[in-house]
Structure 1
Amino acid sequence: MDIFSALPLQKRRELELLFQNCTEEVKYYMTLLEIEAGQTFIKAGTDCTHIFIILSGKVTGVEWPMHERPYPFKDFGPGDFFGEIECFAGLTQYRISIITSTRCRVLSIPADVYMEWMRMDVDALFLRAQENMRRLITQTAEARKYLFMEGKDRLMVHLIRKYEQHMPPPRLLELRQTRPQLAEEIGFSIKTLNRSIQKLEELGLIWLQRGKIVLPREGYLRMKDHIEHHING
């Protein structure tokens, strides 16, 4: 299908295989959306009425726990589905909020139409069940690993996410958040955050300008290499 032409090759093949026998009803009701950066297009706690598939751009998943303080936990991109797991689990509301980090192109399918297709197409159902199980297992492992990281490594992960939300990649990224805002986003105390900032500054990965963190591209690349080879490796 032409709508998948902008996806990375592997993702395009996966979605073309998935949709090769989709019903005419799915084709009729699916809609292409263009969503600007900074928009919340899924809000946790609202009715799960549509399945969304990211075709281009990046989005951030945001948890809204009981104390009502948002926690951005993961970035997603082309080929990722939202609302599907809730439907498979029989849940009537979205469990997380999704905010666009960049301008995005999104495919929207009514949830009832999508699920009727899944009930009729056993091959498509198997593909999506397999992918969702893989995603859940991976995310659980990532969450467990993140929980046991030391402070400076958790700060690195957060700074890497912030840097990668900007396209094209900047030469320098200055974070606008205050220390309390940063601490809340990462799940740190202010004391732990300050200590972690000091360690990254001593390593030459960041510097401070008017109290705000400045991350150069070289620092980003070094942090990315550290996380991939010493934490995720």
Structure 2
Amino acid sequence: MKLDYILDHMPDEIRRQTTHKIFFPGESIVRKGEEARHVYLITRGTIRVSNEFASGQRFTFGTLDVPDLIGDLEVLAGQKLYSASTEVSTQCEVIAMRSETFLQWMRIDNDFALAVAQLLAAKMYPTSNEAGRVKFLPSLNRLQTYLLKRLGDIDTDLFILHTSRQQIADDIGTSVKTVNRGVVKLKDEGLITLLHGKITMNKAQQVAMKNSLIDE
């Protein structure tokens, strides 16, 4: 369901109980372990979702954008604490509401309840389908898979990854030290090149990277 439809059909009694908030890149909307008192409807921007562990490592396992919800899973599951942290990637706008307001909206608006179910399914399916498999791949394979995912269907003679090593580590669930070791190994194998510290792949390296994973 599209955002415009959701907002146009929001009951007035629910609208009066919501507030509009703006977040900037790097800010957190919720953090793992905080009380799940609010639900947020994203109306603009992109947000990274990550899990932090006692070891200090952080694993970014998904992204949210319009019209995703934050906190819906916890509230519907009856959990008192947020299960993951969210960090704003691009300037973000949300409609914030108390958890009680969110549940009230679902009870009185069947279309909204269906939209929430569909959004939850869309979020949970890729996590169920991919996260477990990637988690148990060796760290070097995870790095290669990540680079190919970032490359996607881009047709370019020179792919340049403008992402910090820390963010790569967060995205694949490992440490910066491990990422750096993997980068060195891939460079030594001729699968990538470093340009001012940034990972690059020319056409031949892109093909070789794909083939190296197929061969394994």
Q: Same fold (TM over 0.5)?
A: yes
1:1-233 paired onto structure 2 within 5 Å: 13-158=1-146, 173=162, 175=164, 177=166, 182=169, 186-187=173-174, 190=177, 194-195=181-182, 197-200=184-187, 202-207=189-194, 209=196, 213-216=197-200, 222=206, 226=210
Provide the secondary structure at the position in 1 that maps to 2:42.
strand
Distance 1:183 1:77 in 2: 19
Identity of aligned residues (%): 19
Unaligned runs of 5+ in 1: 1-12, 164-169
How far off its partner does 1:157 sit? 4.9
Distance 2:171 2:161 in 1: 23
Provide the secondary structure at the position in 1 that maps to 2:67.
coil
Distance 2:173 2:32 in 1: 20
Provide the secondary structure at the position in 1 that maps to 2:43.
strand
Amino acid at match of 1:187: T
| Cα deviation digits, residues 100-145 of structure 1 (max 9, x gap) | 1222122222221111111122332123123313421221112023
How far off its partner does 1:208 sit? 6.3
| Cα deviation digits, residues 132-177 of structure 1 (max 9, x gap) | 13421221112023124454442145557889xxxxxx96636364
Structure 1 pair 159–89 and aligned structure 2 pair: CA distance change class (3 A): same
Structure 1 pair 30–156 and aligned structure 2 pair: CA distance change class (3 A): farther
Given the two structures, how large is their TM-score scaled by the length of structure 2?
0.73
Given the two structures, how large is their TM-score scaled by the length of structure 1?
0.69
CA contact (8 A) 2:57 2:173 kept: no
Provide the secondary structure at the position in 2 that maps to 1:53.
strand
How far off its partner does 1:48 sit? 1.3
How many pairs were matched up?
Answer: 205
Structure 1 pair 102–216 and aligned structure 2 pair: CA distance change class (3 A): farther
